[in-house]
A and B are shown apart, each in its own frame.
Chain A
Amino acid sequence: MSERWKIWAMLAPALLVLIAVFVGGLALGVGRSLNYMPIIGLTAPNLDAYRQILRMPEFLPSLATNLYIAVVSTAVSMVLAIASALLMRRAFRGKRLMTFLFSFNLPIPHVVGAIGILFLFAQSGAIARLAYGVGLISRPMEFPVLVNDPHAIGIILEYVWKEVPFIGVVVLAVLQSLGDDYEAVAQTLGATPWQRFATVVLPLIMPATLSVSVLVLAFTFGEFLVPYLLGQTYPATLPVLAVRLFTDPDLNQRPPAMALSILIALISAVMVVLYMALSRRVVRSD
């Protein structure tokens, strides 16, 4: 067996699963969204389902909500992750415990984070009770609506809680691999702490930070569960809307459900390309 065949044989099981289930699933979804499904006699593809979702009054508000949640969650997580990593990179008492806490929620499922946020920030939640205790409010209704709210605060809080460590671990790893030399040089040249951060540290950590943040952006854009649990009913996010259409008793809602889910994937694909471009730049700058 030649070397090349051997390589493809080693990849074959992985490629089989990816092509059969992942690519196959996407292809069937695209087909169904175009009303193309030869096995049930639909052989003339059309764009009706896409027109249908564009005509839905909820579509544009949903898209806007989705983009708003993804962009704000990612940006806030990124800034706080960099700040946390800077706080944690030098030796301090309790660093081991802090590092443990920082990595603790990495493998915790989002649904558990969402329930925790709900119990904390609901109008009868732990924070509202604390607010009552210090006399800020006298009944639950006076506490601001922070979950299932129009500004998607609950969703953003959950994402930030989960993604700050996710991005932060990468930033911390980069910071540790850089060491102190660059900053020491900048300091001897008279740079202030802020100058050292803005002109030396930040440009060095930015490539890795951005490429992991794009993963967060794509994830928060396509995630169903967190907005399902913590979001408002109208406008729902696109994934929640797609599932609602799909589970509608009216089977005519299936093609628009597919079209919507393909649209979500397409937007995510743009993010993949961005991610690949960025990660290539990171490799080059190494």
Chain B
Amino acid sequence: MTEPAPPDPMERRSQRLTTLLRGLSLILLAIWLVAPFIPLLIWSFSFHWTFPHLLPEGWSLRSWQDVANPSSQVLPAIRDSLLIALPVTVLSALIAIPAGRALGQHRFPGKRLVEFLILAPNIVPGLTVALGIQIAFLRYGLANTFTGVILVHLVPSMSYAVLVMAGVFANYDPQAEEVSRSLGANRWQTFRHVTLPAIFPGLMVASLFAFLISWDQYIATILIAGGTVKTLSILVVAAAGGGDRALAGALSLVFIAPAVVFLIIASKYLTGVSAARRLGRR
């Protein structure tokens, strides 16, 4: 191979221009990505902030005190959200481990159909499912109950967890299990000490996603149990439409806390899971 000829000044100038444009575009992209968070943060600490002031004329912790006040709606809403999202997470993980294993490790007749069924809730709007199932829930006493909401949230959360676990098990070598069994370990011991450590990173990611999907749900919760269950999501949407921007800002920031925790934990575990699986929800 020959050495490349030294670039002539014209070319070098156009190269520098390209680098400059690239740098500028990257800075613009970075600003655009963080821009929506900035007014949320400032509003949450504002007391009085009228047009056209670029910063609040008065600062206050009022909305954060509202959030932390036990007699406000916020803490009960967080409790309701957790009472739904935590069971959904545990159930999703318990369902996704065997189902993911079946899909990731085995070929069988009907697999296409099963995969189709598991993909479908990621595309068919939750609204349609909630509107339909609410008819049955009214009849069987599940409307306006936590159980009803958990069942409805379970559909998208679990199907996502199964997809992640199917990917995990597709790259899993079950030979170590046979060794473990041949050395006298029982089923549970084998699962606990051989399988679980191997799938743990993927299981963490699947569970975190299952949690976040349930945590974010709004319209399904409203349609199934709008009268009795008041999740944080419902509170945030109400605040978005209300006039109190300071409260809407603070609630938004509380609402994204699990996602931030997720990012911190996931960055530790994600390396083992393919990029296509990590991207998750829209």
Contact = CB atoms under 8 A, between A and B. Distances in A.
B241 A229 contact: yes
Nearest to B152: A21
A17 B279 contact: no
Query: What class of interface size applies to chain A in its complex with B?
Result: 35 or more
Contacts, number: 275
A258 interface: yes
Contacts of A124: 51
A109 B255 contact: yes
Interface string B32-64: 111111111001000000011110000000000
B230 interface: no
Interface stretch (A47-55, A56-64, A84-92, A199-207): A84-92
B51 A129 contact: yes
B252 A112 contact: yes
A219 B252 contact: no
Interface of B: 22-23, 25-26, 29-30, 32-40, 43, 51-54, 94-96, 98-99, 101-103, 106, 108, 114, 116-125, 127-136, 139, 151-152, 154-155, 158-159, 162, 212, 215-216, 218-219, 223, 233, 236-237, 240-241, 245, 248-249, 252, 255-256, 259, 262-263, 274-276, 278-282
Given A28-B132, A269-B124, A104 B33 contact: yes
B119 to A, nearest CB: 7
Nearest to A126: B39
A244 B186 CA distance: 56
Contact of A107 (B102, B120, B125, B259): B259
Interface of A, secondary structure class, is helix
Given A22-B121, A112-B256, A124-B51, A162 B127 contact: no
A75 interface: no
A113 B40 CA distance: 10
B171 to A, nearest CB: 15
A197 interface: no
Interface in A151-171: 161-163, 165-166, 169-170
B128 A120 contact: no
Contacts of B53: 129
Contact of A109 (B29, B99, B233, B278): B233
A242 B121 contact: no
Given A88-B26, A261-B125, A21 B36 contact: no
B131 A120 contact: no
Given A119-B245, A129-B52, A132-B52, A262 B128 contact: yes
Contacts of B40: 112, 115-116, 119
A18 interface: yes
Contacts of A97: 30
Contact of B37 (A29, A37, A116, A165): A116
B123 A268 contact: yes
